[in-house]
Amino acid sequence: AQTVTQSQPEMSVQEAETVTLSCTYDTSENNYYLFWYKQPPSRQMILVIRQEAYKQQNATENRFSVNFQKAAKSFSLKISDSQLGDTAMYFCAFMKHRDSGGYNKLIFGAGTRLAVHP
Amino acid sequence: DVKVTQSSRYLVKRTGEKVFLECVQDMDHENMFWYRQDPGLGLRLIYFSYDVKMKEKGDIPEGYSVSREKKERFSLILESASTNQTSMYLCASSSGQKGNTEAFFGQGTRLTVV
């Protein structure tokens, strides 16, 4: 069975600074997807970034980037130039590849609550 | 824009009541999911469905059932609500097409069982 661990329940950062959220996972699969989802106070869960395990290049989306270390089963999220609107719960999630019979099920970590301060 | 709509944002029910949580998506997605969100536990999968009338148990199905009579609608049923089912419930849908992995979520229903 797959598991996802987020070891930082809460973090805080000053506006305009950089913060890194940690995530580790456990799987015997070779091909899979990893995600970071954001849940702001409005409760609307939004996809931040996605990484495909067979791609060595780390994914980036504007101020958001990941450090994907497949051998270490680590998938951290870096937020650059933090903004007040980045304040949210951040969830790391794992999905088996479709060819593995994963049926698009997401397995989530416990989440990290990020507070961005002015 | 994809929209996943949950029928209630807040709900208060009494112990022993039968509770229906409704979810509707407007993007013709094959997959639909019900998750439960609790502090320190993240999101845990209750039930999911890949097609009409299809359902599969997730990690914590006890005390719940589901219904998917139409492709766009996926209902979560608490047969006899108990206080330990007080939680946030999130519905999600996804395409199921190869390579299209993004899940879209509703805004959640915060259920309190008293």
Chain B residues in contact with A103 (beta carbon < 8 A) = 31, 48, 50, 56
B31 interface with A at CB cutoff 8 Å: yes
Q: What is the mean pLDDT of residues B96-111?
A: 86
Q: Which residues of B touch A43 (CB under 8 A)?
A: 88, 107-108
Strand spans (E) along B1-114: 4-6, 10-13, 19-25, 31-38, 42-49, 56-57, 64-70, 73-78, 87-94, 103-105, 109-113
**A36, A46, A104, A108, best to mutate vs chain B, most B CBs in 10 Å:** A104
One pLDDT digit (tens) per residue for chain A, 118 residues: 889 999 999 999 999 999 999 999 999 988 899 999 999 998 999 999 999 998 889 999 999 999 999 999 999 999 999 999 999 999 999 998 877 666 678 999 999 999 999 9
pLDDT tens across B13-52, in order?
Answer: 999 999 999 999 999 999 999 999 999 999 999 999 988 9
Distance CA A23, CA B37 (A): 18
Distance CA A81, CA B20 (A): 43
- Alpha-carbon dihedral of residues A56, B96, A41, B114, nearest 10 degrees? -130
How many Å apart are CA A85 and CA A43, to the nearest integer?
A: 13
DSSP-derived secondary structure letter, B86:
-
Q: Establish if A105 touches chain B: CB-CB under 8 angstroms.
A: yes
